[in-house]
Every structure is written in C-alpha cells, then in structure tokens.
Amino acid sequence: MAGRTAGLVLLAGAAALASGSQGDREPVYRDCVLQCEERNCSGGALKHFRSRQPIYMSLAGWTCRDDCKYECMWVTVGLYLQEGHKVPQFHGKVSLNAWFWSTVFHTRDTDLTEKMDYFCASTVILHSIYLCCVRTVGLQHPAVASAFRALLLLMLTAHISYLSLIHFDYGYNLAANVAIGLVNVVWWLAWCLRNQQRLPHVRKCMVVVLLLQGLSLLELLDFPPLFWVLDAHAIWHISTIPVHVLFFSFLEDDSLYLLKESEAKFKLD
C-alpha cells in the first residue's frame, strides 16, 4: 500500500512538472506573452482589441491573453528555426492528462479514477477530431472551426453528464467513442488521400490513422492475459506509444509547412 501511494505521489509530481510543454517554459515565449499582455490587454488597448475581434472568436471565448499566447508561440517557433533547433511543443496538456489518469486508474481502480480515465479518453478523441477540423477546414474558415468546437464541447458535456448523473453505461460509452473514432478516421483519411501528392508528409498521418484503427481491435477482441500479465488492454496501451511519436512527427512537419507558406504570403504582401 505504501509503495502504491508513493507511486501515485510521484505521478502527480510528474504531471505537475509536465503541465507546461517545452515551448511554454521558454523564457523568450514567457517574456513575449508578458509584454504583449501589458501592451494590449488593458485600458484602451483592450477596448480596441475587443472592438476589432470577430464575433465568432468572442463567442468561442478567445481572449486577449489567448491572442498573445498564439502570436508569441509563432515568434518563438521562428527563433527556434533561425537557431537550427527543433520546433518545441506548446500547450501539450490534453494527451498527457489522459495518460496520467489512465495510469492512476490502472494503479488503483476506484469509481473516481475509472471515470477520470474514461472521460479523459473521450476528451482526447474529441480533441483529435477538432484538430482535424481546424487543419482541414478551420484555416480557411475559422468560424466553422469555432462553431464545431462549441458543438464538441456540448457533446462532451452531455456525454459526461449522462455517465455521471444518470447511468454509467459501459456499452454506450464504447459505442459513442467508436462512432466518433470512425468519423475521425474517415475525415483524416479523406484529407490525406486528397493531399498526399502535394504534401508528402501527410502519409505519416495516414499510417497513424490506419495503425490506430488496427490497434483498436485489441480493445474489442479481448483474450486471456499473456503470462497472466499482459492482456489486450495493456498491449493496446503499449502499442500506441510509438504511434503517437509518429503523429507528433507529422504535426511538426505540417506546422513547418504552414509556417513556410505563411512566410511566403507575407513576403508577397
């Protein structure tokens, strides 16, 4: 019991340390955000920001601080590239939170840890489909992405409310996640197939989507644990680690492509 408790304490500490990604901890980024907020997020400057802010961004809860963080993220990315460094990750909390609660749940199975594991897993799936919407539609039509985000938040709220307040239905939870996952797979694959000739790096995304779909069979086709230790669920968790590394590689390549495209348009203007 003491060892298990110590393990949970260490996990909590690790989560706290990792709550900010490398980019978030970069002094240049922090200073940029601080100066931007001082310059733009109070008094007359804040009124000016709100007056020119599109209505869809205001409804989506986009604040002056959010705008500063977004602009400073790209400033920091540009500096990293100039110095020949790899692009850092920013705001990487959603997947980490899901893995953290999954670890806690598999360490100590209680009603609370089970719900946190399930709810965070659903959040990751919805976040993935939101990311897909932003990449495929939102860059050209931000209002569509904002409306879709609001819809996903409503769906997540309804999903969690039903499972928490009405009935914790395992069958429904599985069906809902599989359904959203299938939409996610079809959407990503359709975009990848349409752009694979123009953007070779999207093939990484195709591989990730197909691998995750194949590995999901481990969650549906259960079997007795190997050596009475590794069951289908455990093998699924282990197998998804390298897949996420490949997906991050795709995101890095795609971000660099978008950054170069943005710089090219800026020079033309």
**Which of 83, 99, 123 delimits the end of a domain?**
83
Is 35 contained in some domain?
Answer: yes
Contact (CB, 8 A) for 97 and 120: yes
Is 124 contained in some domain?
Answer: no
**Which of 61, 83, 105 delimits the end of a domain?**
83
Is 141 contained in some domain?
Answer: no
Is 204 contained in some domain?
Answer: yes
Is 7 contained in some domain?
Answer: no
Is 214 contained in some domain?
Answer: yes
Burial class (CB in 10 A: 0-12, 13-18, 19+), 268: exposed
Residue 204, Cα to own-chain centre: how many angstroms? 17
Domain count, the chain: 2
| Per-residue pLDDT tens digits for 126-166 | 998 999 999 999 888 888 988 999 999 999 999 999 999 99
For 44-67, what is the mean pLDDT? 85
Is 252 contained in some domain?
Answer: yes
Is 88 contained in some domain?
Answer: no
Domain holding 259, by residue range, is 199-268
DSSP 86: P
**Which of 83, 115, 150 delimits the end of a domain?**
83
DSSP 189: H
| Per-residue pLDDT tens digits for 78-137 | 888 887 877 666 655 557 677 788 888 877 778 888 899 899 989 988 998 999 999 999
User: What's the whole-model pTM score?
Assistant: 0.67
Q: H helices within 41-169, ranges in order?
A: 43-52, 55-59, 64-82, 94-107, 111-133, 142-161
